[in-house]
Amino acid sequence: MPENDDQSILDLIGRPESRNRGFELLVHTYQERIYWLIRRIVFRHEDTDDVVQNVFLQVWLHLDSFRRDSRLFTWIYRIAVNEAIRWQKKNRLHHWISFSSMERELGNILVSDPGYNGTEVEFKLQKALLHLPFKQRLVFQMKYMESLKYEEMSAILGTSVGALKASYHHAVKKIERFLANH
């Protein structure tokens, strides 16, 4: 979305008489991208819907604190990542079951989910992602699947560009090894 469209949304939100319309436009503009970002982190559709709802609730509650020193999407994306991480911490499967059981369970979620219609290669990639540490998985998803620039990722995650490049490099190597062995 061009930055001037962000400005149009923010202008609508800034006027009391059009605040609700501006927020509806914001949700309509960003909801799908935020959904798929979160879906790749939490996997299940139902959980994703809950987290997306929390994201837009947080956006609504904190609109007045948006400083406009970044793109609107960058700000929303950061909220989404934080909400997904909060959900992960609250609902950790690996506290209750072994990693191999968790991998099997998440794999079953992907296969049985009517919203997942990926190919065998995509399924293998998703399984490979499960073997990555959370931060490497997130960085890989942001770079490879969302095509974000390192500078945008740095603004979202509050991490240096160099650290992000290293995380991405390590993630790619681990994924390549996993795919070669499975």
In this prediction, the residues of the chain whose per-residue pLDDT falls under 50 are 1-3, 94-99
Query: What confidence score (pLDDT) does residue 166 get?
Result: 97
DSSP calls for the chain:
--HHHHHHHHHHHHSGGGHHHHHHHHHHHHHHHHHHHHHHHH--HHHHHHHHHHHHHHHHHHGGG--SSS-HHHHHHHHHHHHHHHHHHHT-STTTS-HHHHHHHHHHHHHH-TT----HHHHHHHHHHHTS-HHHHHHHIIIIIS---HHHHHHHHT--HHHHHHHHHHHHHHHHHHHHH-
pLDDT tens per residue, range 107-138 = 665 555 555 556 777 778 888 888 888 889 99
pLDDT confidence of residue 131: 84
Q: What percent of the chain has a predicted confidence (pLDDT) above 70? A: 82
CATH topology of domain 1-91: Rna Polymerase Sigma Factor; Chain: A (1.10.1740)
Global pTM reads: 0.74
What is d(CA 38, CA 47) in angstroms, rounded to the nearest whole number? 9
pLDDT score recorded for residue 97 = 42
| pLDDT at residue 40, as a whole number | 82
Predicted pLDDT of residue 140: 94
